[in-house]
Amino acid sequence: MNREKLTNYDVIIRPILTEKSHKMMSNGKYVFEVSPLANKNQIREAIEEIFNVKVEKVNVVNVKPKPKRRGIFVGKSRRWKKAIVTLREGYVIKELMPEI
């Protein structure tokens, strides 16, 4: 896929919901797995349109593959791209908040 032809739903693959990401949600930061072809501007636009919020900052991390071994077979896990999105003050993504 070309960068120009990525739709908003192609850019955001899934949210990352771990203990660490739940702690970050209280500070207004949300973690997503994103397309390796997406840049920060595309990620910002996709989050703002899909969840109807305002994004303050986007940080991107390329997660490197780790070596894996199963018996005599050696390989690597997949590489992927992670985005940490900081929302503006007063905005919350209700779909990702844990039920309290």
Write a three-state SS string for the chain: CCCCCCCHHHHEEEECCCHHHHHHHCCCEEEEEECCCCCHHHHHHHHHHHHCCCEEEEEEEEECCCEEEECCEEEECCCEEEEEEEECCCCCCHHHCCCC
**CATH fold of 8-90:** Alpha-Beta Plaits (3.30.70)
Residue 32 has what pLDDT? 98
Band of pLDDT at residue 1, cut at 50, 70 and 90? low
State pTM to two decimals: 0.88
**Residue of 17, 33, 34, 35 lying closest to 25 (CA atoms):** 17
Mean pLDDT of the chain: 93
For the chain, the structural domain boundaries read 8-90
* Residue 96: pLDDT over 90: no
